Structure 1
Amino acid sequence: MMASPIFSFCSFHAARLWRTQPRVFSAVAASLVVVLLSAFVFFQQWQQADAAMSKLQQLASEVRRKPVAVVSEKKVSVAALDLPSFSSAELVDTINQVALDTGIPVNEVSYRLDEGANFPYLRYRVTLTITAKYPLMRGFIDQVATSLPHSALDEVTCARNDIQAAMLNCDLSFSAFFRKDGHG
């Protein structure tokens, strides 16, 4: 038997090391235990990773086999938008009324009609400059959105004179949309 001489050789030298240098023997034994535990944990983690990888590959193959549902694009007609007829006087009156209702002084207002030949609607751009505290400005923007449901806020640019000033100087840009056939 070959195992017996190797075992007796190792046990002889381990006993001799234990008797002559017990601290070194303890350090070697502890290191051997740590190496064996590390190897055990490594192989266990490797098996778990291998199982997870095979599960992932199985799920990926199932996903590839399932047919993909194609979502059809629905084209929205201009009639479905239900835009109002164009009336610049009504738009100006609404903006002025919202400014009066919210108590915001409007410093400067400009109106511009964009007639895009490629679009089935008219776009009326309203740019105004207001000076107000932030809550009033938010209320003004919300009120415009409520009063003109066919409008959109395009841009807000605000500045203040110094950091402690409560008043903001803001440039607001709105777009109001109207039916093209109502333009005359």
Structure 2
Amino acid sequence: MLRHFFPYLRFHFRRALHTQLGWLLACLAAFVILVVAIVLWTWQWNQLYSLKQEASRLQTAVVQRQQENAETAKKIQAPIVLPAFHNASFIRSLHKVAGRSHLALNEMSYVLDEAPTQPYLRYRIQFSVLSNYPSLRRFIKDMHAEFGHVTLDSMSCSREDITFAELNCDLSFTAFFARGERG
């Protein structure tokens, strides 16, 4: 059946080509224009969709950036309230944080800087510890979580032997306190 169908189609195509060439070219041109129009419309629609997605992403980024800026502005505008200076309670709290991190504080030294030009008191604390690295990191993290007014100024670590897991570290912290009465 198919064997007879192709010659039939070929005959009618040649006949239409010779007798109705104008209509055939018009239909072919209309088909080409339709295909080009569909391709252009699809391309434009994809471009528009991509631009809408990009605009949505940028709008989300702008809103997120505005929220971050508002949070930062709140943090900047919030006054820093320093605690009153109570030496004994601060040292007890420092030892408590060290105990939770399983550190023994050795060779501690304290220096209170009461410079009259500064609106705060600066209390420098230096000590050495013998500990492993995870315990030392936990201690520093706990210090910053417990005392928002304490900063780590310096840390110097060494170990006697590469096979020895314990580090000998010298730490230097500065605690800032409000001027006023002291305990």
Do both proteins adopt the same fold according to a TM-score greater than 0.5, normalized to the shorter chain? yes
Q: Take 2:168 and 2:113, find their aligned partners in 1: how far apart are those partners?
A: 26
Residue of structure 2 equivalent to 1:48 = none
CA distance in structure 1 between the partners assigned to 2:172 and 2:154 by the alignment: 5
Report the Cα offset of residue 103 of structure 1: 0.9
Report the AA paired with residue 139 of structure 1. R
CA RMSD of aligned residues (A): 1.9
Aligned to 1:179: 178
Query: For residues 140 and 105 of structure 1, what CA distance do their matches in structure 2 show?
Result: 11
Aligned residue number for residue 170 of structure 1: 169
Secondary structure of the equivalent of 2:137? helix
* Deviating 4+ runs (over 4 angstroms): none
Aligned partner of 2:89 in structure 1 is: 90
Higher helix share: 2
Structure 1: distance between partners of 2:176 and 2:145: 14
Q: Quote the Cα distance in structure 1 between the aligned partners of 2:147 and 2:110.
A: 15
TM-score relative to the length of structure 1: 0.55
Aligned to 2:130: 131
Aligned mates of 2:118, 2:93 — CA distance in 1: 25
How many angstroms apart in 2 are the aligned matches of 1:122 and 1:164?
A: 42
What CA deviation, in whole Å up to 9, does each residue of 1:26-70 have, x standing for no partner? Answer: xxxxxxxxxxxxxxxxxxxxxxxxxxxxxxxxxxxxxxxxxxxxx
Q: Does 1:112 align with 2:121?
A: no
Give CA-to-partner distance per residue, 1:88-142, whole Å, 9 cap, x none: 0111011110111111112221111011111100001111100000010000111
- Per the TM alignment, residue 80 of structure 1 is displaced from its structure 2 partner at its CA by 2.1
3-state SS of 2:83 partner: coil
- Give 1:37's aligned residue: none
Residue identity matched to 2:85? F
TM-score normalised per structure 2: 0.55
Which amino acid in structure 2 is aligned with residue 107 of structure 1? Answer: N
Q: For residue 143 of structure 1, what is the aligned residue in structure 2?
A: 142
Where do 1:1-184 residues align within 5 Å? 80-183=79-182
State the one-letter code of the partner of 2:132. K
Q: Which runs of 5+ in 1 are unaligned?
A: 1-75
Q: What is the match of residue 52 of structure 2? A: none
Q: Aligned residues: percent identity? A: 41
Unaligned stretches of 5+ residues in structure 2: 1-75
CA–CA distance in 1 between the matches of 2:80 and 2:118? 13
Distance in 1, matches of 2:84 and 2:120, equals 10
C-alpha distance in 2 between matches for 1:145 and 1:158 = 19
Alpha-carbon offset, residue 181 of structure 1: 2.1
Deviation of the 1:183 alpha carbon:
3.6
